[in-house]
Structure 1
Amino acid sequence: MAESSEPPSPENARPHRLETWTELAGAVILSIAALLTSWASFQAELWDGDQAAAYSQAESVRTEASRLATRAGQIQGGDMLMFTNWLSAFAAEDEALQDFYEQNFRAGFRTTHAEWLALQPMKNPSAPRTPFSMPSYQITHEEQARVLEERANAFFLEGQEANRNSDGFVRVTVILAGALFFGGIGQVFRIPRVRVALVVVAAISCVWGVVQLLGLPVN
Structure 2
Amino acid sequence: MTEKPAPAHDRKYGVIEIITVLLLSITAVLTAWCGFEASKWGGEMSIAFSTASSARVQAASAESTAQAARQYDLTIYSQWVLAEADDRAQLAEFVENRFTDEFAVAFDAWNAEGRVSDGPLSMAEYVPPGEVEAAELSARADQKFEEALENNQRGDNYSLLTVLFALVLFFAALSQNQRARWRRTVFLSLSGLLVIVGIGILSTYPIKI
TM-score, normalising length from structure 1?
Answer: 0.85
1:168 paired residue number? 157
SS at match of 2:127: coil
After superposition, what is the alpha-carbon deviation per residue over 1:135-182, rounded to whole angstroms, capped at 9, x for unaligned?
Answer: 321123100111112222222232222222212211221111110111
Matches within 5 A, 1:87-126: 87-121=81-115
Structure 2 CA distance for aligned equivalents of residues 54 and 115 of structure 1? 42
Q: Give, in angstroms, the shift of residue 114 of structure 1.
A: 3.3
State which of 194, 197, 202 in structure 2 corresponds to 1:208.
197
SS at match of 2:117: coil
CA RMSD, 1 decimal: 2.0
Q: Which has the larger radius of gyration?
A: 1
Contact 2:69 2:129 in 1 (8 A): no
2:26 paired residue number? 32
Gaps of 5+ in 2: none
1:195 paired residue number? 184
After superposition, what is the alpha-carbon deviation per residue over 1:173-200, rounded to whole angstroms, capped at 9, x for unaligned?
Answer: 1111110111112112212122111111
Structure 2 CA distance for aligned equivalents of residues 31 and 203 of structure 1? 12
Contact 2:52 2:145 in 1 (8 A): yes
List structure 1 runs of 4+ shifted beyond 3 angstroms: 12-15
| Counterpart check, 1:145 vs 2:134 | yes
Contact 1:179 1:206 in 2 (8 A): yes
Gaps of 5+ in 1: 1-6, 122-126
Q: Give, in angstroms, the shift of residue 46 of structure 1.
A: 0.9
Query: Alignment length, in residue pairs?
Result: 205
* Structure number with higher relative contact order (C-alpha < 8 Å, ≥ 6 residues apart): 1
- Corresponding letter in the other structure for 1:130: G
| Counterpart check, 1:131 vs 2:120 | yes
Share of identical aligned residues, percent?
A: 28
